[in-house]
Amino acid sequence: GSALQAVETCASLLEDDPVFNAGCGSVLNEYGKVEMDAAIMDGRDLSAGAVAAVQNIPNPIQLARYVMTESEHVMLIGEGAMRFADHCGVTRAPDNYFYTPDRVAQLEKARLLHKVMLDHDETDDDSEDQKYGTIGAVARDSNGNLAAATSTGGIVNKRMGRVGDSPIVGAGVYADNETCAGRPPGDRPRHRLPQAEGQRPGRRHRHRPCRPMRKRAYHQEDDPRLDRKRRRSRGPVLSC
C-alpha cells in the first residue's frame, strides 16, 4: 500500500487504544469533554488535511484525510468540522466511549491544582508515560513516497476550543518527498525560551532564526506539484 494509507491506518489503530492521548484515550477539557485534533500530509504533492476541536469522532485522523481528499480546504475546526463529518458519513461515538478512569483522575487532579497539565509527568524525561501521549506515524513506501500523520487530545483541563500545534501543517506534521517527513513532540501547556549562558534572569534572549534546508524561499506558484485549487487556499510556502 501507499505511505499515506499506512500512516492513516497506524494512527487509527493508536486512536483506538485508550492508553494513548488520542481518539478514545484523549484527555478531558475544562468541562470534562474530549476535543481532538489531527492532521495528515502527503509528501508526493504536499496536500494535507487537518481537523481541530472535534468531539465524538472515534478516529479524527480519518476525518482529517476526508478534509484533504474531499474538500477544497486544509483545516476545519469545531462545528464546521462536525458538519463536514456528517456530510462524509463519519459515525459518532457516545461520550462514555472516551471516558477512562485515568483521564478522569487526571482532570480531577488538574482542577484541584487550578491549572492545565500534560498527559504525563513532565518532570521525568525518561518516564514511561511519555511514550503514550500524542500519537504520530511516518512512512516511506516502495515508490519512495513519504507521508506523516498525527492525532491528539491536547492537554488536561484545557479551555474549550483550545488548539495546539499538532494539527498545524508545518508545525505539528510535515511530509515532502524532496526533503523529509515527521512530527515533533506533543503539545505543551506553554513554551519557554531557554536562558542563554551568562544571561541575566528575566532578560529576553534574542535567538537566531532557523535556517531553511534550501537557500531560497519560493511561492507555491513556482511548485509544479501543487494544483491550482491548493494554491488558492494556502498562500505562500517556505521550502524547508
- The cell numbers describing 145, all together, are 513516497
Catalytic residue, chosen from 9, 123, 134, 150, is 134
Long-range contacts of 158-162 (CB under 8 A, 24+ apart): 158/27, 158/29, 158/30, 158/35, 158/116, 159/29, 159/30, 160/29, 160/30, 160/31, 160/33, 160/35, 160/53, 161/35, 161/53, 161/78, 162/29, 162/35, 162/53
150 an active-site residue? no
E strands, the chain, are 36-42, 48-54, 75-77, 135-140, 146-152, 174-175, 181-182
- For the record, the C-alpha cell of 46 comes out as 504536499
C-alpha grid cell for residue 90? 463519519
Task: Say if residues 212 and 52 touch (Cβ distance below 8 Å).
Answer: no
The answer to whether 118 touches 69, Cβ cutoff 8 Å, is: no
Residues with catalytic roles? 134
